[in-house]
């Protein structure tokens, strides 16, 4: 994922709107009708909308729809709409495409797609699952008819290719999907276990170096002494205790083949050189974290037994989350320090599973994917810090920050947007560092509750600014905006959102504001009048910086704002166009 130039479909930004209307009902069919009648890119007989996913959070409903053109999907042409329980639109992310005429050219034929697959795989039985569909794909300057091939192979690879009619691969990427795979266990038995909590360097309060070194997974006594005794709930089946719970299954799904450890007694106490140690370590931390999220009040987050292989990825020094074939799974490599010996790696990967649970099929786009990495880093670092704050700013304290790799930090002074590098791992530091600052200010449980509630509203192609506004909106929904002030402070210090709330209006020669007195006193509309037709966005915020609404306009010479439903106070109107960005204060008496 290094320095290659991002593809236009990854750079594209969804148009976001906040507090932008109300729908009579939260019924998905009525919401669909609403989208067809209000989204300009969906107008006309050639367009239809397909409902893809729905999730319910603590305060609202979150639906993902897909744009179809002449019955075929438009790649990533989506709308994510987030409603409160009465149908108020809290936020909407429009990533649909404007199509004036049918994109020219033919769809690739299926035989060509199979030729491409055959050129990648010599052995047909290396493939587990293939999916081929026709769609319209954005090449940047124009849309083309294309085929999308989704492939899952026995090596655990899961990726998609976009093919044009000339059999050229015009786009490819790793991908994940989501499916609910419930498997119910009814027998839980407590067992004793030994784990690193969160890792041996943090508990010993030392840095990497002799004798605190990997030494090829050897039983160094100083490292083994850092193991802590804990109790885990396991399953007892056919005279055997197994590392299985309703939310985690230790499995063998990725080479090398290492059978999950079992025990004839309720005891799973291993030293770090034993394969069972990593199984127990991952099992323990995943269950603890799942219980924590559930106790925050979220009962549909990773509500299935996730598969976990702690000796995976052919020995690579890497780990991943994948839901290829509809089976969500975590795979931990053993290169360098075994990844599953470090709770930071375990919780980071589990963070991807949490995100996929709350907002499935939305992890597309450069800033959006960086946000997913950042949220995993933040979950890992905040979990670690809650156990032991030694070197809290280092993520992957044991797996990284050593000769094998550098690890990452959650204490960065990078500023948005000028420090973005279009590298999802480096850019992740902006968001994860900000979340740590907010957590230090308002507490971990409160921060996590707000962040997870916001996660349900995440969309494809969204920006970090959008994410900041979603976090603020989540606090308004959950707590009536009780923590908006500290959240806004850190978000604006980082550059995610403007800090100009409450400043005097400046440079408003670009537009006139008419009838501000009627707006203040008589419930009449104020009129923003431009010198020439403009396209851009208008945003109304209260003194706390909470967004009252945010809407786009195009080619307009004026814009009307109604004071209806506003309580008394000062409101900041911010107008942003290609030509200028100005603010104006409106009063409501
Ligand atoms: Zn990651």
378 C-alpha to ligand 1 centroid (Å): 11
Contact 311, 273 (CB under 8 A): no
Q: Kindly list the strands in the beta sheet with 306-309, ordered across the sheet, starting from the edge strand earlier in the chain.
A: 244-245, 248-250, 306-309, 329-332, 319-322
320 C-alpha to ligand 1 centroid (Å): 7
Which residue is associated with the tokens 């100083």?
A: 222
Is 523 found in the same domain as 474?
Answer: no
Is 170 among the domain residues? Answer: yes
352 C-alpha to ligand 1 centroid (Å): 7
281 C-alpha to ligand 1 centroid (Å): 19
Is 314 found in the same domain as 199?
Answer: yes
316 C-alpha to ligand 1 centroid (Å): 15
Q: 41: domain CATH number?
A: 3.10.450
261 C-alpha to ligand 1 centroid (Å): 26
Contact 529, 566 (CB under 8 A): no
DSSP state letters, 249-283: EE---SSS--PPPEESSSEE---TTSHHHHHHHHH
503 C-alpha to ligand 1 centroid (Å): 39
26 is written with which tokens? 């939260």
519 C-alpha to ligand 1 centroid (Å): 49
- Of 226, 262, 229, give the one whose Cα is nearest residue 243: 262
137 is written with which tokens? 């794909």
Residue 534 to residue 558: CA distance in whole angstroms: 8
333 C-alpha to ligand 1 centroid (Å): 13
Is 563 found in the same domain as 465?
Answer: no
227 C-alpha to ligand 1 centroid (Å): 26
Give the three-state DSSP class for 367.
helix
List Cα–Cα distances, 81 to 14, 99, 198, 449, in angstroms.
12, 21, 38, 20
Which residue is associated with the tokens 């769609």?
A: 135
Is 356 found in the same domain as 213?
Answer: yes
Is 514 among the domain residues? Answer: yes
368 C-alpha to ligand 1 centroid (Å): 12
Q: Using only C-alpha atoms, what is the Rg of the chain? A: 26
473 is written with which tokens? 């909106």
Dihedral over alpha carbons 545, 34, 39, 362 (to 10 degrees): 70
543 C-alpha to ligand 1 centroid (Å): 37
Give the pLDDT confidence score for residue 176 in this predicted structure.
42
Residue 347 to residue 330: CA distance in whole angstroms: 10
Give the pLDDT confidence score for residue 152 in this predicted structure.
86
566 C-alpha to ligand 1 centroid (Å): 42
Produce one character per residue of 313-329: b if its CB has 16 or more CB atoms within 10 Å, e if not.
Answer: beebbbbbbbbbeebbb
Beta-bridged to residue 160, according to DSSP, are 150, 173
Q: 582: domain CATH number?
A: 2.60.40.3080
Write the burial class of residue 288 (CB in 10 Å: 0-12 exposed, 13-18 middle, 19+ buried): middle
Is the backbone of residue 76 left (phi > 0), alpha (psi -120 to 50) or beta? left
419 C-alpha to ligand 1 centroid (Å): 20
Give the pLDDT confidence score for residue 186 in this predicted structure.
45
Is 323 found in the same domain as 200?
Answer: yes
DSSP state letters, 427-451: HHHHHHHHHHHHHHHH-HHHHHHHH
The tens digit of pLDDT for each residue in 126-158 reads 888 889 999 999 988 789 999 999 988 887 788
User: For the chain, percent helix, then strand, then coil, each to nearest 5?
Assistant: 30, 30, 40
117 C-alpha to ligand 1 centroid (Å): 28
* Residue 422, domain extent: 380-388+399-494
Contact 170, 149 (CB under 8 A): no
What residues contact 19, with CB distance under 8 A and at least 6 apart?
A: 88, 89, 90, 91, 547, 548, 549, 550
- Of 458, 469, 473, give the one whose Cα is nearest residue 497: 469
Is 368 among the domain residues? Answer: no
What residues contact 563, with CB distance under 8 A and at least 6 apart?
A: 519, 520, 523, 524, 525, 526, 586, 588
Is 146 found in the same domain as 239?
Answer: no
CA 158 to chain centroid, in Å, comes to: 19
Give the pLDDT confidence score for residue 219 in this predicted structure.
96
Q: 305: domain CATH number?
A: 3.10.170.10
pTM: 0.82
Q: Which helix (H) or strand (E) holds 378?
A: helix 366-387
521 C-alpha to ligand 1 centroid (Å): 53
Give the pLDDT confidence score for residue 508 in this predicted structure.
54
Query: Which residue intervals of 423-515 are DSSP H helices?
Result: 424-442, 444-455, 464-479, 484-494
Total structural domains in the chain? Answer: 5
Give the pLDDT confidence score for residue 181 in this predicted structure.
32
Is 367 among the domain residues? Answer: no
Final residue of a structural domain among 145, 174, 203: 174
The tens digit of pLDDT for each residue in 500-529 reads 644 344 445 677 888 887 788 778 898 888
Is 556 among the domain residues? Answer: yes
Which residue is associated with the tokens 């690890």?
A: 407
391 C-alpha to ligand 1 centroid (Å): 21
Cα dihedral across residues 561, 563, 566, 572: positive or negative: positive
Give the pLDDT confidence score for residue 449 in this predicted structure.
98
Write the burial class of residue 441 (CB in 10 Å: 0-12 exposed, 13-18 middle, 19+ buried): middle
Is 101 among the domain residues? Answer: no
The tens digit of pLDDT for each residue in 157-175 reads 888 999 999 989 999 887 6
Final residue of a structural domain among 494, 517, 549: 494
Is 527 found in the same domain as 419?
Answer: no
322 C-alpha to ligand 1 centroid (Å): 11
Is 521 found in the same domain as 483?
Answer: no
Is 305 found in the same domain as 232?
Answer: yes
460 C-alpha to ligand 1 centroid (Å): 17
85 C-alpha to ligand 1 centroid (Å): 32
405 C-alpha to ligand 1 centroid (Å): 15
Is 256 found in the same domain as 217?
Answer: yes
509 C-alpha to ligand 1 centroid (Å): 47
313 C-alpha to ligand 1 centroid (Å): 15
Is the backbone of residue 289 left (phi > 0), alpha (psi -120 to 50) or beta? alpha
Contact 315, 256 (CB under 8 A): yes
Give the pLDDT confidence score for residue 500 in this predicted structure.
60
Which residue is associated with the tokens 């149908």?
A: 87
Q: Which residues of the chain are under the pLDDT cut of 50?
A: 1-3, 176-186, 501-507
> End-to-end alpha-carbon separation of the chain, Å?
54
Is 357 found in the same domain as 256?
Answer: yes
Is 313 found in the same domain as 417?
Answer: no
Final residue of a structural domain among 174, 201, 228: 174
429 C-alpha to ligand 1 centroid (Å): 12
Residue 497 to residue 293: CA distance in whole angstroms: 28
Which residue is associated with the tokens 């170096």?
A: 209
370 C-alpha to ligand 1 centroid (Å): 9
Is 394 among the domain residues? Answer: no
Q: What are phi and psi of 431, to 5 degrees?
A: -75, -45
Beta-bridged to residue 541, according to DSSP, are 547, 572
List Cα–Cα distances, 329 to 232, 235, 360, 379, in angstroms.
20, 19, 15, 18
374 C-alpha to ligand 1 centroid (Å): 8
Give the pLDDT confidence score for residue 505 in this predicted structure.
43
Is 366 among the domain residues? Answer: no
């Amino acid at each position: 994922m290094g320095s290659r130039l991002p593809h236009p479909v990854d750079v594209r930004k969804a148009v976001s709107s906040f507090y932008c209307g109300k729908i009579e009902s939260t019924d998905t069919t009525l919401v669909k009708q609403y989208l067809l009648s209000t989204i300009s890119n969906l107008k006309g007989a050639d367009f239809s909308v397909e409902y893809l996913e729905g999730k319910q959070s603590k305060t609202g409903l979150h639906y993902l729809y897909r744009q179809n053109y002449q019955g075929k999907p438009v790649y990533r042409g989506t709308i994510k709409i987030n409603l409160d329980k009465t149908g108020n639109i809290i936020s909407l992310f429009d990533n649909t495409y404007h199509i004036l005429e049918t994109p020219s050219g033919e769809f690739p034929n299926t035989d060509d797609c199979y030729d491409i697959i055959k050129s990648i795989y010599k052995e047909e039985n290396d493939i587990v699952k293939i999916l081929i569909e026709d769609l319209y794909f954005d090449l940047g300057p124009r849309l083309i008819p294309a085929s999308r091939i989704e492939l899952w192979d026995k090596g655990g690879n899961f990726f998609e290719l976009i093919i044009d009619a000339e059999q050229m691969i015009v786009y490819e990427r790793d991908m994940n999907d989501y499916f609910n795979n419930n498997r119910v266990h009814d027998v839980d038995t407590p067992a004793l276990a030994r784990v690193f909590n969160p890792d041996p360097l943090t508990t010993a309060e030392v840095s990497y170096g002799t004798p605190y070194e990997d030494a090829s997974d050897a039983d160094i006594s100083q490292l083994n002494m850092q193991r802590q005794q804990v109790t885990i709930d396991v399953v007892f089946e056919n005279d055997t205790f197994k590392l299985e719970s309703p939310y985690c299954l230790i499995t063998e799904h990725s080479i090398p083949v290492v059978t999950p450890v079992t025990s004839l007694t309720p005891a799973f106490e291993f030293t770090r050189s034993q394969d069972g140690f990593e199984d127990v370590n991952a099992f323990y931390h995943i269950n603890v974290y799942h219980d924590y999220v559930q106790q925050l009040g979220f009962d549909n987050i990773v509500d299935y037994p996730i598969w976990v292989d702690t000796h995976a990825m052919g020995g690579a020094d890497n780990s991943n989350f994948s839901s290829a074939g509809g089976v969500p799974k975590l795979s931990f490599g053993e290169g360098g320090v075994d990844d599953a010996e470090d709770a930071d790696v375990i919780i980071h990967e589990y963070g991807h599973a949490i995100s996929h649970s709350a907002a499935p099929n939305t992890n597309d786009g450069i800033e959006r994917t960086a946000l997913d990495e950042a949220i995993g880093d933040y979950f890992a670092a905040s979990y670690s810090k809650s156990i032991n704050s030694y070197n809290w700013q280092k993520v992957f304290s044991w797996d990284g920050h050593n000769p094998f790799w550098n690890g990452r930090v959650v204490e960065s002074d990078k500023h948005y947007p000028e420090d973005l590098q279009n590298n999802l791992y480096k850019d992740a530091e902006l968001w994860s560092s900000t979340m740590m600052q907010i957590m230090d200010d308002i507490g971990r449980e409160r921060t996590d509750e707000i962040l997870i509630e916001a996660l349900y509203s995440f969309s494809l192609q969204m920006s970090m600014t959008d994410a900041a506004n979603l976090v603020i909106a989540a606090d308004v929904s959950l707590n009536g905006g009780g923590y908006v002030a500290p959240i806004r402070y850190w978000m604006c210090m980082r550059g995610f959102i403007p800090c100009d709330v409450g400043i005097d209006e400046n440079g408003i020669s670009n537009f006139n504001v008419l009838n501000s007195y009627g707006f203040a006193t008589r419930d009449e509309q104020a009129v923003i009048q431009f010198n020439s037709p403009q396209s851009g966005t208008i945003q109304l915020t209260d003194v706390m910086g909470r967004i009252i609404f945010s809407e786009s306009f195009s080619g307009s010479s004026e814009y009307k704002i109604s004071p209806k439903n506003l309580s008394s106070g000062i409101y900041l109107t911010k107008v942003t166009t290609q030509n200028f960005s100005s603010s104006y204060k409106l009063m409501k008496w």
